Amino acid sequence: MKSYLKIFIIVAVAAILTNCTDKFNEINTKPDSFTQEEVSAKYFITRPQFRLYAPDRYPYWRAHLIHTDRYAGHFCFGMKGSWWNDELGYSYHSGYTDASYDWLAGYIGDLDNFMKMTDEGGEFENQYMYAMGQIIKGLYFQMYTDVFGMIPYSEATNPDIVLPKFDEQREIYMGIIKELDEAMATIGDETSTGTNVDDIGSNDIYCGGDLQKWKRLANTLKLRIALRAHGAPGADFAGAAITEALGAPLLDGASDNVTMEKDIEISQWGSAAYGDVWYNFGTGSDWTIGKTLIDLLRDNNDPRLPMYAKPAAGGTAVLEKPEGDEAAKHEKRVDFILNVLTEAGVEFTRTDLEDGGVEITMDENVYYVGQPTRLNGKTQPYVAYQFFSTPENKIIERKNAGPIRAELIFAAAEASFLKAEASVKGLGGDDAQTAYQEGIRQAMKLWGVSDGDIDTYLQNEAMAQLDGTMEEKLEKIASQRWIMAYTDGFEAWAIVRDMGYPKVLADGVSDIDLYGLGDINGKYPQRMRYGNSASSKNGEQYNIAVSKQGPDTQETKLWWAK
């Protein structure tokens, strides 16, 4: 009996312990993933590139559409049938704010991965690819800091620092310029990142692997941020940077526009387009174009108008007189809306109905009318959708239906506008008028305007002449840059805050019968509040930043806007 027991124990223990641990490493290796040995650096560039300008629908909707495109004054919600009134976003909403912050803050991982791989000593060391990474990093940090202000920069991506400090904007701008300078120096006269697998080529969806274009992009970005910094407290570095940038090649001509072709098939959960919001929900999620933009285009006979916008659908709408609390405001709101139509040159017929309602009929698909920005919810029933212009089809095209307008990364026209601005401010030697008109020409070419139409505009329109006082000149440059930045709300919003134009936006709103004043009592939003994760993950540094920068509210001005 004892021997049976012995046998039993031996067999049992052996059964458990054979292959005790020798297969462990093998079964704990993920079978459908790749290791560093199997891959190349170029496979890591595309993702950080598209995710900066066309992330998945979640941030695309919340950060781009709800916040920056609307703060920029380009787009409006709050017409009849919209889910929201146009106060959305001006009243702090932590869910939408967090989505925006988390996306921008969380973006860095992919880029950092690419840069660490291509950095000196990295697995795929390639100085040119690293330089590209530095330039993308510049684009990213400018976008990121211009939304929130102080953010972690100098200690970001440092493997030894888990809780990085928030840098002042001045430091960030200086840092970006330094990295751009390094990148440009690295690139030198080189044209490609290498040969075979080392050639980043078509995986680079900004510049197609053209290093010289990257270099011009870097230099133009340097000029943009140096001019934005110019005049801000302690921005002593800006003058030299502007001079340097003006002395080196900038983006120039139609082939130098940096745009990103849209993937018209990719799932909205991979990368989104405006159409993913526009078509997937019906009218509730639609939007119109802001009055400021339409007015600037229409009133100056700008040939881009039909490329940016579609005429108002027109037809008949009734502005009903409500019962209850809001009846007293009826006349005021009717007058307000009809005045908008009148200002837009709409010839409409008005019929006053027995119940106090007003029936309005206008021609269909004729008039370009922009919707006033920041109307409140009580005015919403007066904002008939068919009165207002909507984006041109190609901008909001749905996936799998046709070409979608490319994402604007950096327009070559901006280089000319920046030259003009530098010149007006006495910082550069270019002829301001020439540069300004070249900027308009390039900006129009970006949208496919014919040379003839461009010439007509440049010759005939007061808006095309850079004349008047210095302030008037700067207003024109700001306005043209702001028009050019259409569909890039991040940059357009920064232009309004930095340069103060279009003034009607920068001035904010005050009439509580018509406008939604938001949490900021009608002031223009100067920044977005940090996401909740900023304080929850890095509370101490967050508190230091807030104490330096000012309260974490939307009305706190950023360094360069002071």
Partner 1 sequence: MIFAVCFALIGNAVAQQSVTGTVTGNDGVGIPGVTVVEVGTANGTITDIDGGYSITVSESATLVFTFVGMQTIEELVEGRSTIDVTLLPKEIGLEEVVVTALGLSKDKKALGYAVTEVGGDEISMVKDHNPANSLVGKVAGVVVTQGTGGPGGGSRVIIRGNNSITGNNQPLVVVDGVPIDDSGVNSGGSVYNSTVTGGGITDINPDDIESITVLKGPNAAALYGSRAGNGVLLITTKKGNRNKGLGVSLNSNITFDNPMILPEYQNEYGQGTQGNVPGNITDLKGASGSWGPKLDGSNQLYYTGEERPYVAQPSNFEDFFQTGEKYVNTISLDGGGENYSMRFSYTNNKTTSMIPNSDLKSHNFNLRSVVDLTDKFTVDAKATYFTQVLNNRISQGTEGVLSTILTMPRNVDINDLKVYQIPEESLNSISFGSLGANPYWMLYHDRNENKRDRFLGFAKATYEFTDWISAFVRIGTDVTSVRYESVNQPGHHFYKSGRLNFGNSRNTETNADFLIMIDKDLSTDFNLSANLGGNHSYRTYEAQSIYGENFKIPTRATVANSVVQRPSYTPLEEKIINSLYGQVSLSFRDFVYLDVTGRNDWSSTLGENNRSYFYPSVTGSFLANELFDRDAELFNLLKVRASWANVGNDTSPYQLYSYYNVASDGYLGLTQLSRPNVKFNPELKPENIASLEFGLEGSMLNNRLFFDVSIYNIKTTDQIYDVPVPESTGYSYFRENIGEMTNKGFEMLVGGIPVRTENFSWQISANFSQNKNSLNELIEDLEEHPLNTTNSGNLSVVATVGGGYGDLYGTTWRTNDAGQLVVDANGRPQASTEKVFLGNSQPDWIGGLTNTLTYKDISLRFLIDARFGGKIYSQTSAALDGSGVSVQSLEHREGIVVDGYVKQDDDTYVKNETSISGQDYWGAVSGIASEYVFSQSNIRLREFVLSYNLPNSILKDGFIKGVNVGLIGRNLFFLYKEVDHVDPEASLGTGNNGQGILSYNLPTPRSIGFNVNIKF
Part in contact with partner 1 (CB under 8 A); list of ranges 101-109, 236-244, 294-302, 367-375: 101-109
Nearest approach, Cβ of 8 to partner 1 (angstroms)?
6
x-marked contacts with partner 1 along 496-525 as a string, rule CB under 8 A:
----------------x----x-x-xx---
Q: 173 near 149, Cβ under 8 Å?
A: no
Site for partner 1 in 204-263 (CB under 8 A): 205, 261, 263
Part in contact with partner 1 (CB under 8 A); list of ranges 287-295, 296-304, 460-468, 529-537: 529-537
Nearest approach, Cβ of 484 to partner 1 (angstroms)?
25
* 390/387 Cα distance (integer angstroms): 10
Q: Which of 61, 71, 77, 107 binds partner 1 (CB under 8 A)?
A: 107
HSE-CB for 394 with a 13 A CA cutoff? 12
Instruction: Using the minimum distance from each CB to partner 1, give the nearer residue, 29 or 195.
Output: 29
Site for partner 1 in 264-283 (CB under 8 A): 265-267, 270-271, 279-283
Q: 342 near 391, Cβ under 8 Å?
A: no
* 386/538 Cα distance (integer angstroms): 47
- Answer yes or no whether residue 403 interacts with partner 1 by CB under 8 A: no
Q: Which of 347, 540, 548, 562 binds partner 1 (CB under 8 A)?
A: 540
Q: Taken in order 60, 66, 67, 72, is the CA torsion positive or negative?
A: positive
Q: Residue 503: enclosing H or E segment and its boundaries?
A: helix 503-506
**Total residues at the site for partner 1 (CB under 8 A)?**
111
* Alpha helix ranges (H) inside 406-469: 412-424, 432-446, 451-460
Q: What is the CA radius of gyration of the chain?
A: 27
Q: Which of 52, 76, 88, 105 binds partner 1 (CB under 8 A)?
A: 105
DSSP-derived 3-state class of residue 518: helix
- Answer yes or no whether residue 468 interacts with partner 1 by CB under 8 A: no
Single-letter amino acid, residue 68: T
Instruction: Using the minimum distance from each CB to partner 1, give the nearer residue, 46 or 300.
Output: 46
Site for partner 1 in 309-338 (CB under 8 A): 318, 320, 322-327
- Answer yes or no whether residue 354 interacts with partner 1 by CB under 8 A: no
- Answer yes or no whether residue 380 interacts with partner 1 by CB under 8 A: yes
Q: 482 near 504, Cβ under 8 Å?
A: no
* 396/288 Cα distance (integer angstroms): 11
Nearest approach, Cβ of 53 to partner 1 (angstroms)?
11
- Answer yes or no whether residue 157 interacts with partner 1 by CB under 8 A: yes
- Answer yes or no whether residue 121 interacts with partner 1 by CB under 8 A: no
Nearest approach, Cβ of 519 to partner 1 (angstroms)?
7
H/E/C letters for each residue in 157-202?
Answer: CCCCCCCCCCECHHHHHHHHHHHHHHHHHHHCCCCCCCCHHHCCHH
Q: 551 near 527, Cβ under 8 Å?
A: no
